[in-house]
Amino acid sequence: MSVTSPLLQASDACVLEGLRAIVGEKACIEVASDMQPFTTDYRKLYHGKALAVVLPADTQQVSAVLALCFEHNIPVVPQGGNTSLMGGAVPDGAGNAVVLNLRRMNQVQEIDLLNDTMTLQAGVTLQAARAAAEDAGRLFPLRIGSEGSCQIGGNLSTNAGGTAVLRYGNMRDLTLGIEAVLPDGRIYSSLRGLRKDNTGYDLKQLFIGSEGTLGIITAAVLKLMPLPTASAVAWVAVDNPHAAVELLTEAKRVAGQAVTAFELISGPALTLVLESMPQLSAPLPAAHDWMVLIELTSGGDAESLDAMLMGILEQGMERGLVTDAAVAASLADARAFWMLREEISDAQTRAGGSIKCDISIPLSKIADFIAVASAQVLALAPDARMVIYGHMGDGNVHFNPLRPKDVTPALFLAENYARVSHAVDGLATRQNGSISAEHGIGVAKRDDLLDCKSSVELELMWQVKRALDPKHLLNPGKVLPGLPGTA
Ligand code: MLT
Ligand code: ZN
């Protein structure tokens, strides 16, 4: 809808007219209340403003929007499903940016069964991509809790990971080519579906994981895998994170590639979900400090996979690693176990006041990291609920201390956010870990890069930014700390 305010500058009015001409009146949102869902982030922590929100229908329209904005020096914030946990997909409060949302670009364009690839537009949701692959008899293996809302473009721009990275890798590993529009409107394409291509720099990798700061990804060619024919799932109580790592090693020894997911869940994380969704029930009769969710999958028969899982659990019990276990007897059981795991993130959002640290550490150090980081956090915030969970199989823990029940989210975060995340991230950095394993940097972690990247890394990042986005218009204020030229 177009309602041009009399307070708009003449150049803004000219840009708005141009945007309407490109995407059509209905796909150019200009009323503040209608823009609000696009200018507020998923966790409702960042409330920005925009000149307009545009919803282009195809790559040519994205290109025309970017060329127009380039000409008029208008910042552009790319947005997919707006599920960023780091405030990476919303504009700041200046009100001068255009939000470019890709949700209308939601076509699966080709499934090539002989090449085992899928070509699709960036606005396809992850759920729709997985369903399209499955309808064609293939697996697209990226699996994350927000799959119904998050989009392939956002998955690519944050190099999303999730619960099956252990087996299949993250978005970088699953991508053969992309199409991206550059800030001046030029279109880069590597949509060729090649598994081998050594013709110079692998440019697509610059755009993957760059959170829309270098170009806007509009399409991709993704790898497809064989659909598994069998799965075996267990919810397992372990003595402590050290025991979990030992159990993972045992699982990989027995089941090799079949180990698809290995998720760690702390007692407080499960309690939070059960309190927030009383209709769900705990898989085990007693409460435990530490649990893991193990999933094996294969293209073979269910009996041999079940036998492998039982073998892993028996070994675990014999060695004192496992204290109790529930094996899913049906698909419904398996889904119920997974729901408990996948609801942790939303339960935290509902509770408010959680400090989201997204750490990766070599597996050999992860258990010690959890112990030391927990002690440091509890020294700073003694009553914090230690919501610790995540993809232990690939060395990624979501280390998210949560406010005590009798402290408001605002007070808990004001008192603890900076010092707790500084302590946890600092410990990870000193151990050669990462402060953002899979959630990206956005605005929330931007300045923390100053503490964990070398001056050479930061300068190279800025040099790449300047080369691709010389006017500094794409997703400004995200990822790169410091001012242009000062890093
Ligand atoms: C998850 O593993 O559940 C996601 O990364 C989301 C989150 O940690 O909040
Ligand atoms: Zn995760």
345 lines ligand 1 (CB under 6 A): yes
Per-position b or e across 263-287, b if 16+ CB within 10 A of its CB? bbbbbbbbebbbebeeeeebbeeee
Ligand 1 atom 7, closest CA: 345
Task: Using the mean position of ligand 2's atoms as its centre, give its distance from the Cα of residue 124 in Å.
Answer: 20
Mean pLDDT of 444-453: 95
Does residue 19 have a pLDDT over 70? yes
Q: Which one of the ligands is nearest to 344 CA?
A: 1
Q: Which atom of ligand 1 is nearest to the CA of 348?
A: 9
Task: Using the mean position of ligand 2's atoms as its centre, give its distance from the Cα of residue 397 in Å.
Answer: 8
Task: Using the mean position of ligand 1's atoms as its centre, give its distance from the Cα of residue 165 in Å.
Answer: 13
Mean pLDDT of 310-322: 98
Mention every residue, 6+ apart, whose C-beta is less than 8 A from residue 9. Answer: none
Domains 230-344 and 352-430 share a fold: yes
Amino acid identity of 281? S
Mean pLDDT of 227-236: 98
Spell out where 81-155 has E strands: 98-101, 108-112, 117-121, 138-139
Nearest to 98 by CA among 33, 34, 61, 50: 50
Integer Cα distance of 129 and 348 in angstroms? 27
Q: What is the pLDDT of residue 434?
A: 98
Task: Using the mean position of ligand 1's atoms as its centre, give its distance from the Cα of residue 146 in Å.
Answer: 9
Task: Using the mean position of ligand 2's atoms as its centre, give its distance from the Cα of residue 359 in Å.
Answer: 10
Tens digits of residue pLDDT in 126-159: 999 999 999 999 999 999 999 999 999 999 999 9
| Chain CA centroid to CA 21, Å | 34
Q: Which atom of ligand 1 is nearest to the CA of 344?
A: 3
Which residues partner with 357 through β-bridges? 399
85 lines ligand 1 (CB under 6 A): yes
Task: Using the mean position of ligand 1's atoms as its centre, give its distance from the Cα of residue 80 in Å.
Answer: 17
Nearest to 358 by CA among 156, 90, 84: 84
Q: Under CATH, which architecture does the 108-226 domain have? A: 2-Layer Sandwich (3.30)
Pocket residue to mutate for ligand 1, from 43, 166, 345, most atoms within 8 A of Cβ: 345
Tens digits of residue pLDDT in 47-63: 999 999 999 999 999 99
| Chain CA centroid to CA 438, Å | 5
Integer Cα distance of 281 and 277 in angstroms? 9
* Residue given tokens 């050479």 in the structure block: 456
Integer Cα distance of 100 and 197 in angstroms? 31
What are the domain boundaries of the chain? 10-101, 108-226, 230-344, 352-430
Pocket residue to mutate for ligand 1, from 42, 144, 158, most atoms within 8 A of Cβ: 144
Q: What is the pLDDT of residue 484?
A: 47
Task: Using the mean position of ligand 2's atoms as its centre, give its distance from the Cα of residue 482 in Å.
Answer: 28
Q: Which fold has domain 230-344?
A: Alpha-Beta Plaits (3.30.70)
390 lines ligand 1 (CB under 6 A): yes
Task: Using the mean position of ligand 1's atoms as its centre, give its distance from the Cα of residue 45 in Å.
Answer: 17
Does residue 85 have a pLDDT over 80? yes
Could you tell me the pLDDT band of residue 1, with boundaries at 50, 70 and 90?
very low
Tally of CA atoms within 13 A in the half-sphere of 299 that contains its CB: 7
Does residue 178 have a pLDDT over 50? yes
Instruction: Confirm if 38 and 89 have CB atoms less than 8 A apart.
Output: no
Q: Which one of the ligands is nearest to 387 CA?
A: 1
Ligand 1 atom 3, closest CA: 345
Q: Which atom of ligand 1 is nearest to the CA of 162?
A: 2
Q: In the CATH hierarchy, which top-level class contains the domain 10-101?
A: alpha beta
Find out if CATH 3.40.50.720 is the number for domain 352-430.
no
Q: What is the pLDDT of residue 257?
A: 95
Task: Using the mean position of ligand 2's atoms as its centre, give its distance from the Cα of residue 444 in Å.
Answer: 17
Q: What is the pLDDT of residue 100?
A: 99
Does residue 6 have a pLDDT over 70? no
Does residue 5 have a pLDDT over 70? no
DSSP state of 474: B
**Report field, pTM of the whole predicted structure over 0.85:** yes
Q: Which atom of ligand 1 is nearest to the CA of 161?
A: 5
